[in-house]
Amino acid sequence: MSSPIKYMLVSLPTSISQSNDKEEALTALQSTVASDSVTVLPFKIPEFKIGTLDALVQQADDLAKLENSCEAVVAKVGDSLRSLLEGDEEKISQQKTVNDKPADQYLRSFTWNKVKYRADKPLAELIDSLQKELVSIDNDVKSKISQYNTVKTNLTTLQRRQTGNLSTKSLTPVVDPSLLIQDSEYLETHLVVVPNSAKKDFLRSYETISPMVVPRSSIEVTHDDEFTLYAVTTFKKHSSEFQHKCREMKWTPRDYKYVQGGKEEERKEVERVGRDERKVWGEALRLGRTGWSESVMIWIHVLTLRVFVETVLRYGLPLDFVCALIKANPKQAKKAKTSLDSTYSYLGGNAFGRDKKGKVTKDDSALSSEMAAAGVGAHGGEGSEYTAYVYYDFEII
Protein backbone atom coordinates (compact mmCIF):
# COMPACT_ATOMS: atom_id res chain seq x y z
CA MET A 1 0.00 0.00 0.00
CA SER A 2 1.40 3.44 -0.96
CA SER A 3 2.34 5.90 1.79
CA PRO A 4 -0.42 8.37 2.77
CA ILE A 5 -0.56 11.78 1.12
CA LYS A 6 -1.82 14.84 2.91
CA TYR A 7 -3.44 17.70 1.04
CA MET A 8 -3.82 21.25 2.30
CA LEU A 9 -5.99 23.98 0.85
CA VAL A 10 -4.69 27.41 1.79
CA SER A 11 -6.18 30.80 0.98
CA LEU A 12 -4.19 33.99 1.63
CA PRO A 13 -4.83 37.62 0.78
CA THR A 14 -2.76 38.94 -2.12
CA SER A 15 -1.42 41.56 0.32
CA ILE A 16 1.18 38.96 1.40
CA SER A 17 3.12 40.24 -1.64
CA GLN A 18 4.26 43.86 -1.83
CA SER A 19 2.72 44.30 -5.27
CA ASN A 20 -0.63 42.81 -4.23
CA ASP A 21 -0.31 40.63 -7.34
CA LYS A 22 -1.81 37.12 -7.39
CA GLU A 23 1.15 35.52 -9.15
CA GLU A 24 3.61 37.07 -6.72
CA ALA A 25 1.43 36.07 -3.79
CA LEU A 26 1.41 32.45 -5.03
CA THR A 27 5.20 32.58 -5.44
CA ALA A 28 5.50 33.90 -1.87
CA LEU A 29 3.34 31.04 -0.59
CA GLN A 30 5.42 28.52 -2.54
CA SER A 31 8.61 29.96 -1.06
CA THR A 32 7.19 29.67 2.44
CA VAL A 33 6.72 25.88 2.21
CA ALA A 34 9.49 25.19 -0.30
CA SER A 35 10.79 21.61 -0.16
CA ASP A 36 11.69 18.88 -2.64
CA SER A 37 8.89 16.70 -1.29
CA VAL A 38 6.21 19.42 -1.14
CA THR A 39 4.14 20.32 -4.20
CA VAL A 40 2.29 23.65 -4.38
CA LEU A 41 -0.26 24.20 -7.14
CA PRO A 42 -2.70 27.04 -7.82
CA PHE A 43 -6.27 26.08 -6.95
CA LYS A 44 -8.92 27.95 -8.91
CA ILE A 45 -12.01 29.14 -7.05
CA PRO A 46 -14.87 30.81 -8.93
CA GLU A 47 -16.44 34.06 -7.77
CA PHE A 48 -19.69 32.94 -6.19
CA LYS A 49 -22.69 35.08 -5.29
CA ILE A 50 -22.22 36.55 -1.84
CA GLY A 51 -25.20 37.09 0.46
CA THR A 52 -25.42 38.73 3.85
CA LEU A 53 -22.88 38.30 6.63
CA ASP A 54 -25.40 36.33 8.71
CA ALA A 55 -26.03 34.02 5.75
CA LEU A 56 -22.29 33.48 5.25
CA VAL A 57 -21.78 32.54 8.89
CA GLN A 58 -24.65 30.04 8.66
CA GLN A 59 -23.29 28.65 5.39
CA ALA A 60 -19.86 28.22 6.97
CA ASP A 61 -21.48 26.06 9.64
CA ASP A 62 -23.54 24.11 7.08
CA LEU A 63 -20.46 23.47 4.94
CA ALA A 64 -18.44 22.27 7.93
CA LYS A 65 -21.12 19.64 8.66
CA LEU A 66 -21.46 18.73 5.00
CA GLU A 67 -17.72 18.23 4.63
CA ASN A 68 -17.75 15.81 7.57
CA SER A 69 -20.55 13.92 5.82
CA CYS A 70 -18.55 13.85 2.56
CA GLU A 71 -15.53 12.37 4.31
CA ALA A 72 -17.73 9.77 6.01
CA VAL A 73 -19.43 8.72 2.74
CA VAL A 74 -16.10 8.45 0.88
CA ALA A 75 -14.81 6.23 3.72
CA LYS A 76 -17.98 4.08 3.75
CA VAL A 77 -17.93 3.54 0.00
CA GLY A 78 -14.23 2.70 0.27
CA ASP A 79 -15.07 0.09 2.93
CA SER A 80 -17.71 -1.36 0.61
CA LEU A 81 -15.14 -1.70 -2.18
CA ARG A 82 -12.72 -3.32 0.28
CA SER A 83 -15.40 -5.83 1.28
CA LEU A 84 -16.34 -6.63 -2.33
CA LEU A 85 -12.69 -7.12 -3.30
CA GLU A 86 -11.86 -9.07 -0.12
CA GLY A 87 -9.19 -6.61 1.00
CA ASP A 88 -7.04 -6.85 -2.16
CA GLU A 89 -5.37 -3.42 -1.98
CA GLU A 90 -4.13 -3.48 -5.58
CA LYS A 91 -7.61 -4.14 -6.93
CA ILE A 92 -9.13 -1.62 -4.52
CA SER A 93 -6.76 1.14 -5.70
CA GLN A 94 -7.73 0.36 -9.31
CA GLN A 95 -11.38 1.03 -8.45
CA LYS A 96 -10.69 4.21 -6.47
CA THR A 97 -10.51 6.65 -9.33
CA VAL A 98 -12.18 9.98 -10.04
CA ASN A 99 -13.57 10.18 -13.58
CA ASP A 100 -11.39 7.13 -14.38
CA LYS A 101 -8.24 8.98 -13.30
CA PRO A 102 -6.24 8.86 -10.04
CA ALA A 103 -7.71 11.12 -7.34
CA ASP A 104 -4.41 13.03 -7.21
CA GLN A 105 -4.70 13.90 -10.90
CA TYR A 106 -8.27 15.13 -10.35
CA LEU A 107 -7.10 17.41 -7.53
CA ARG A 108 -4.07 18.74 -9.42
CA SER A 109 -6.24 19.76 -12.39
CA PHE A 110 -9.42 20.61 -10.46
CA THR A 111 -11.87 22.99 -12.08
CA TRP A 112 -15.29 23.83 -10.70
CA ASN A 113 -18.06 21.97 -12.54
CA LYS A 114 -19.92 25.00 -13.89
CA VAL A 115 -22.43 22.88 -15.81
CA LYS A 116 -23.59 20.92 -12.79
CA TYR A 117 -23.14 23.66 -10.17
CA ARG A 118 -23.61 27.05 -11.76
CA ALA A 119 -21.51 29.63 -9.94
CA ASP A 120 -24.17 32.31 -10.43
CA LYS A 121 -26.61 30.42 -8.21
CA PRO A 122 -26.99 31.39 -4.54
CA LEU A 123 -24.57 29.60 -2.20
CA ALA A 124 -27.45 28.09 -0.22
CA GLU A 125 -28.78 26.49 -3.41
CA LEU A 126 -25.37 25.03 -4.29
CA ILE A 127 -24.95 23.61 -0.78
CA ASP A 128 -28.41 22.05 -0.89
CA SER A 129 -27.73 20.49 -4.31
CA LEU A 130 -24.41 18.99 -3.16
CA GLN A 131 -25.98 17.63 0.01
CA LYS A 132 -28.84 15.95 -1.85
CA GLU A 133 -26.41 14.33 -4.30
CA LEU A 134 -24.28 13.02 -1.46
CA VAL A 135 -27.29 11.50 0.33
CA SER A 136 -28.43 9.89 -2.93
CA ILE A 137 -25.01 8.31 -3.54
CA ASP A 138 -24.84 7.04 0.05
CA ASN A 139 -28.31 5.49 -0.16
CA ASP A 140 -27.73 3.91 -3.58
CA VAL A 141 -24.47 2.24 -2.55
CA LYS A 142 -25.88 1.06 0.80
CA SER A 143 -28.94 -0.40 -0.91
CA LYS A 144 -26.91 -2.30 -3.52
CA ILE A 145 -24.41 -3.59 -0.94
CA SER A 146 -27.32 -4.77 1.22
CA GLN A 147 -28.82 -6.56 -1.80
CA TYR A 148 -25.47 -8.22 -2.52
CA ASN A 149 -25.02 -9.34 1.09
CA THR A 150 -28.49 -10.92 1.04
CA VAL A 151 -27.77 -12.85 -2.18
CA LYS A 152 -24.34 -13.87 -0.88
CA THR A 153 -25.86 -15.15 2.36
CA ASN A 154 -28.45 -17.15 0.41
CA LEU A 155 -25.72 -18.70 -1.74
CA THR A 156 -23.58 -19.54 1.29
CA THR A 157 -26.57 -21.21 2.95
CA LEU A 158 -27.31 -23.27 -0.16
CA GLN A 159 -23.66 -24.26 -0.55
CA ARG A 160 -23.49 -25.25 3.10
CA ARG A 161 -26.54 -27.45 2.55
CA GLN A 162 -24.65 -29.20 -0.24
CA THR A 163 -21.32 -29.60 1.52
CA GLY A 164 -21.97 -29.52 5.28
CA ASN A 165 -22.25 -32.48 7.66
CA LEU A 166 -25.39 -34.59 8.07
CA SER A 167 -26.82 -32.33 10.76
CA THR A 168 -27.09 -29.37 8.35
CA LYS A 169 -26.72 -30.50 4.74
CA SER A 170 -29.59 -31.25 2.37
CA LEU A 171 -30.76 -34.85 2.63
CA THR A 172 -32.11 -34.91 -0.92
CA PRO A 173 -28.91 -36.36 -2.47
CA VAL A 174 -28.39 -39.01 0.26
CA VAL A 175 -31.82 -40.45 1.12
CA ASP A 176 -33.17 -43.32 -0.98
CA PRO A 177 -36.93 -42.72 -1.19
CA SER A 178 -37.53 -46.50 -0.97
CA LEU A 179 -36.47 -46.31 2.71
CA LEU A 180 -39.35 -43.98 3.54
CA ILE A 181 -42.89 -45.04 4.37
CA GLN A 182 -45.11 -42.74 2.36
CA ASP A 183 -48.90 -42.40 2.05
CA SER A 184 -49.55 -44.47 5.19
CA GLU A 185 -52.45 -43.56 7.41
CA TYR A 186 -50.75 -44.76 10.60
CA LEU A 187 -46.99 -45.03 10.14
CA GLU A 188 -44.29 -42.46 9.54
CA THR A 189 -40.54 -42.62 8.91
CA HIS A 190 -38.26 -40.28 10.86
CA LEU A 191 -34.73 -39.37 9.86
CA VAL A 192 -32.48 -38.92 12.89
CA VAL A 193 -28.88 -37.68 12.92
CA VAL A 194 -26.83 -39.30 15.69
CA PRO A 195 -23.24 -38.42 16.67
CA ASN A 196 -20.97 -41.32 15.79
CA SER A 197 -19.90 -41.55 19.42
CA ALA A 198 -23.55 -42.18 20.44
CA LYS A 199 -24.45 -44.88 17.88
CA LYS A 200 -24.49 -47.72 20.43
CA ASP A 201 -26.71 -45.77 22.84
CA PHE A 202 -29.09 -44.93 20.02
CA LEU A 203 -29.41 -48.53 18.78
CA ARG A 204 -29.90 -49.78 22.33
CA SER A 205 -32.59 -47.27 23.32
CA TYR A 206 -34.43 -45.78 20.34
CA GLU A 207 -37.25 -48.36 20.56
CA THR A 208 -38.12 -47.38 24.13
CA ILE A 209 -37.75 -43.58 24.28
CA SER A 210 -41.43 -43.13 23.29
CA PRO A 211 -44.49 -45.33 22.76
CA MET A 212 -45.20 -47.23 19.58
CA VAL A 213 -41.81 -47.18 17.90
CA VAL A 214 -41.74 -50.01 15.39
CA PRO A 215 -39.21 -52.57 16.74
CA ARG A 216 -36.04 -53.12 14.74
CA SER A 217 -37.12 -50.44 12.27
CA SER A 218 -33.87 -48.46 12.40
CA ILE A 219 -31.90 -48.43 9.16
CA GLU A 220 -28.52 -46.75 8.72
CA VAL A 221 -28.98 -44.48 5.72
CA THR A 222 -25.48 -43.01 5.52
CA HIS A 223 -22.72 -41.55 7.66
CA ASP A 224 -19.87 -39.02 7.59
CA ASP A 225 -16.92 -38.27 9.85
CA GLU A 226 -19.12 -36.84 12.60
CA PHE A 227 -22.64 -38.24 12.30
CA THR A 228 -24.73 -41.23 11.23
CA LEU A 229 -28.18 -40.85 9.69
CA TYR A 230 -30.84 -43.38 10.69
CA ALA A 231 -34.37 -43.97 9.47
CA VAL A 232 -36.83 -45.02 12.22
CA THR A 233 -40.51 -45.85 11.88
CA THR A 234 -43.15 -44.87 14.48
CA PHE A 235 -46.90 -44.57 14.64
CA LYS A 236 -47.96 -41.09 13.60
CA LYS A 237 -49.85 -40.26 16.78
CA HIS A 238 -46.59 -40.55 18.76
CA SER A 239 -44.33 -38.82 16.19
CA SER A 240 -44.08 -35.53 18.11
CA GLU A 241 -43.14 -37.30 21.34
CA PHE A 242 -40.50 -39.40 19.58
CA GLN A 243 -38.90 -36.30 18.05
CA HIS A 244 -38.98 -34.49 21.39
CA LYS A 245 -37.26 -37.40 23.14
CA CYS A 246 -34.65 -37.55 20.37
CA ARG A 247 -33.75 -33.93 21.02
CA GLU A 248 -33.47 -34.64 24.74
CA MET A 249 -30.98 -37.39 23.91
CA LYS A 250 -28.97 -34.93 21.73
CA TRP A 251 -30.02 -36.67 18.54
CA THR A 252 -31.22 -34.43 15.72
CA PRO A 253 -34.50 -35.21 13.93
CA ARG A 254 -34.32 -33.88 10.37
CA ASP A 255 -37.40 -32.67 8.53
CA TYR A 256 -37.47 -34.21 5.09
CA LYS A 257 -40.11 -34.82 2.49
CA TYR A 258 -39.28 -36.65 -0.70
CA VAL A 259 -39.95 -34.66 -3.87
CA GLN A 260 -39.46 -36.28 -7.23
CA GLY A 261 -36.66 -34.49 -9.12
CA GLY A 262 -35.65 -32.65 -5.94
CA LYS A 263 -31.97 -33.39 -6.35
CA GLU A 264 -31.89 -31.78 -9.78
CA GLU A 265 -33.94 -28.83 -8.54
CA GLU A 266 -31.48 -28.17 -5.70
CA ARG A 267 -28.56 -28.25 -8.11
CA LYS A 268 -30.32 -25.80 -10.43
CA GLU A 269 -31.13 -23.48 -7.50
CA VAL A 270 -27.48 -23.37 -6.43
CA GLU A 271 -26.48 -22.51 -10.01
CA ARG A 272 -29.20 -19.85 -10.29
CA VAL A 273 -28.31 -18.15 -7.01
CA GLY A 274 -24.62 -18.41 -7.97
CA ARG A 275 -25.37 -16.52 -11.19
CA ASP A 276 -27.37 -13.93 -9.22
CA GLU A 277 -24.50 -13.49 -6.77
CA ARG A 278 -21.99 -12.84 -9.56
CA LYS A 279 -24.39 -10.46 -11.31
CA VAL A 280 -25.17 -8.41 -8.19
CA TRP A 281 -21.48 -8.41 -7.21
CA GLY A 282 -20.66 -6.80 -10.56
CA GLU A 283 -23.44 -4.24 -10.11
CA ALA A 284 -22.27 -3.43 -6.57
CA LEU A 285 -18.66 -3.03 -7.73
CA ARG A 286 -19.64 -0.69 -10.56
CA LEU A 287 -21.87 1.37 -8.25
CA GLY A 288 -19.16 1.44 -5.57
CA ARG A 289 -16.59 2.65 -8.09
CA THR A 290 -18.95 5.34 -9.40
CA GLY A 291 -20.10 6.25 -5.89
CA TRP A 292 -16.53 6.70 -4.68
CA SER A 293 -15.67 8.88 -7.67
CA GLU A 294 -18.76 11.07 -7.32
CA SER A 295 -18.52 11.43 -3.53
CA VAL A 296 -14.87 12.55 -3.82
CA MET A 297 -15.89 15.13 -6.44
CA ILE A 298 -18.66 16.41 -4.17
CA TRP A 299 -16.20 16.56 -1.27
CA ILE A 300 -13.75 18.74 -3.23
CA HIS A 301 -16.56 21.02 -4.40
CA VAL A 302 -17.70 21.40 -0.78
CA LEU A 303 -14.13 22.20 0.28
CA THR A 304 -13.96 24.79 -2.49
CA LEU A 305 -17.08 26.47 -1.12
CA ARG A 306 -15.67 26.32 2.43
CA VAL A 307 -12.50 28.08 1.30
CA PHE A 308 -14.50 30.74 -0.53
CA VAL A 309 -16.93 31.43 2.32
CA GLU A 310 -14.22 31.63 4.94
CA THR A 311 -12.05 33.77 2.67
CA VAL A 312 -14.87 36.31 2.47
CA LEU A 313 -15.42 36.16 6.24
CA ARG A 314 -11.70 36.47 6.98
CA TYR A 315 -10.38 38.92 4.43
CA GLY A 316 -13.53 40.83 3.47
CA LEU A 317 -14.33 42.60 0.22
CA PRO A 318 -13.14 43.25 -2.42
CA LEU A 319 -11.95 39.67 -2.88
CA ASP A 320 -8.21 39.76 -3.47
CA PHE A 321 -6.84 36.38 -2.51
CA VAL A 322 -4.81 33.47 -3.81
CA CYS A 323 -5.61 29.82 -3.15
CA ALA A 324 -3.20 26.91 -3.42
CA LEU A 325 -3.28 23.16 -3.05
CA ILE A 326 -0.30 21.83 -1.10
CA LYS A 327 0.58 18.14 -1.36
CA ALA A 328 3.02 16.42 0.97
CA ASN A 329 3.61 13.35 3.09
CA PRO A 330 2.40 13.71 6.72
CA LYS A 331 5.87 14.61 8.06
CA GLN A 332 6.49 17.32 5.46
CA ALA A 333 2.91 18.53 5.78
CA LYS A 334 3.51 19.21 9.47
CA LYS A 335 6.63 21.20 8.63
CA ALA A 336 4.77 23.15 5.94
CA LYS A 337 1.99 24.00 8.41
CA THR A 338 4.56 25.23 10.94
CA SER A 339 6.14 27.46 8.27
CA LEU A 340 2.75 28.84 7.27
CA ASP A 341 1.84 29.56 10.89
CA SER A 342 5.14 31.33 11.48
CA THR A 343 5.03 33.40 8.29
CA TYR A 344 1.37 34.42 8.26
CA SER A 345 0.49 34.62 11.95
CA TYR A 346 0.19 38.41 11.61
CA LEU A 347 -3.02 37.86 9.60
CA GLY A 348 -4.69 36.85 12.85
CA GLY A 349 -4.32 40.34 14.26
CA ASN A 350 -4.78 40.12 18.03
CA ALA A 351 -5.92 36.52 17.79
CA PHE A 352 -2.51 35.27 18.89
CA GLY A 353 -0.17 35.93 21.73
CA ARG A 354 3.35 36.97 20.62
CA ASP A 355 6.77 37.17 22.13
CA LYS A 356 9.01 40.25 22.00
CA LYS A 357 10.12 39.40 18.49
CA GLY A 358 6.54 39.18 17.27
CA LYS A 359 6.46 35.43 16.91
CA VAL A 360 3.32 33.46 17.79
CA THR A 361 3.44 31.88 21.23
CA LYS A 362 0.01 30.28 21.58
CA ASP A 363 -3.57 30.42 20.34
CA ASP A 364 -6.18 32.30 22.26
CA SER A 365 -8.58 29.56 23.34
CA ALA A 366 -11.57 31.87 23.76
CA LEU A 367 -11.21 33.15 20.21
CA SER A 368 -10.73 29.62 18.90
CA SER A 369 -13.97 28.53 20.55
CA GLU A 370 -15.89 31.50 19.17
CA MET A 371 -14.59 30.97 15.64
CA ALA A 372 -15.24 27.22 15.75
CA ALA A 373 -18.78 27.84 16.99
CA ALA A 374 -19.34 30.04 13.96
CA GLY A 375 -17.95 27.35 11.68
CA VAL A 376 -15.07 29.60 10.75
CA GLY A 377 -11.35 28.96 10.90
CA ALA A 378 -11.38 25.38 12.14
CA HIS A 379 -9.70 22.84 9.92
CA GLY A 380 -9.50 19.08 9.75
CA GLY A 381 -12.73 18.36 11.66
CA GLU A 382 -13.97 18.90 15.20
CA GLY A 383 -11.51 19.91 17.86
CA SER A 384 -9.19 21.60 15.37
CA GLU A 385 -7.47 24.85 16.23
CA TYR A 386 -8.08 28.28 14.79
CA THR A 387 -5.49 29.39 12.23
CA ALA A 388 -4.55 32.92 11.26
CA TYR A 389 -5.36 32.20 7.63
CA VAL A 390 -7.80 30.02 5.66
CA TYR A 391 -6.58 26.45 5.93
CA TYR A 392 -8.06 22.96 5.46
CA ASP A 393 -6.24 19.66 5.38
CA PHE A 394 -7.57 16.29 4.22
CA GLU A 395 -6.54 12.86 3.04
CA ILE A 396 -8.26 10.82 0.34
CA ILE A 397 -7.72 7.21 1.40
Peptide bond into 173 cis (omega under 30): no
Element (H, E) at 221: strand 219-223
CA neighbor of 284 nearest in space, from 110, 44, 32, 84:
84
Please report the pLDDT score of residue 54 as a whole number: 95
pLDDT at 356 over 50: no
Q: What is the DSSP string of 144-163?
A: HHHHHHHHHHHHHHHHHHHH
> Which residue type is seen at 365?
S
How far separated are the first and last CA of the chain, in Å rounded?
Answer: 11
Q: What pLDDT is attached to residue 161?
A: 81
Query: Rounded to an integer, what distance in angstroms lies between the CA atom of residue 380 and that of residue 76?
Result: 18
Distances (CA, A) of 32 to 14, 298, 379: 14, 30, 20
Does the pLDDT at position 367 exceed 50?
no
* Confidence (pLDDT) at 182: 84
pLDDT at 261 over 80: no
| Number of other CB atoms surrounding residue 77 within 10 Å | 28
Helix (H), strand (E) at residue 215: none
Write out pLDDT tens, residues 170-208. Answer: 898 889 988 999 889 999 999 999 999 999 999 999 999
pLDDT for 308 beyond 70:
yes
User: Is domain 1-47+319-350+385-396 classified as CATH 3.30.70.1180?
Assistant: yes
Mean pLDDT of all residues belonging to the chain: 90
pLDDT at 29 over 70: yes
pLDDT value at residue 374? 47
| CATH topology (fold) of 49-75+111-168+259-315 | subunit c (vma5p) of the yeast v-atpase, domain 2 (1.20.1460)
- pLDDT higher than 90, residue 135: yes
pLDDT of 76: 97
Give residue 2's pLDDT.
60
Close Cβ partners of 106 (under 8 Å, ≥ 6 residues apart): 98, 99, 296, 297, 300
Amino acid, single-letter form, for residue 73? V
Question: What is the pLDDT averaged over residues 116-128?
Answer: 96
Is the pLDDT at 352 greater than 70? The verdict is no
CB distance 130 to 302 below 8 Å: yes
pLDDT tens digits for range 45-99? 999 999 999 999 999 999 999 999 999 999 999 999 999 999 999 999 999 999 9
pLDDT computed for residue 93 by the predictor: 94
Confidence at 384, pLDDT banded by 50, 70, 90: low
Q: Could you say which DSSP state residue 3 is in? A: P
Please state the domain extents for the chain: 1-47+319-350+385-396, 49-75+111-168+259-315, 177-258
What pLDDT, on a 0 to 100 scale, did the predictor assign at position 260? 74
Q: Are strands 321-328 and 227-235 parallel, antiparallel or unpaired?
A: unpaired
1-47+319-350+385-396 shares its CATH topology with 177-258: yes
* Mean pLDDT within 313-337: 94
From the options 3.30.70.100, 3.20.10.10, 3.50.50.60, 3.30.70.20, give the CATH code of 177-258.
Answer: 3.30.70.100
Per-residue pLDDT at 163: 83
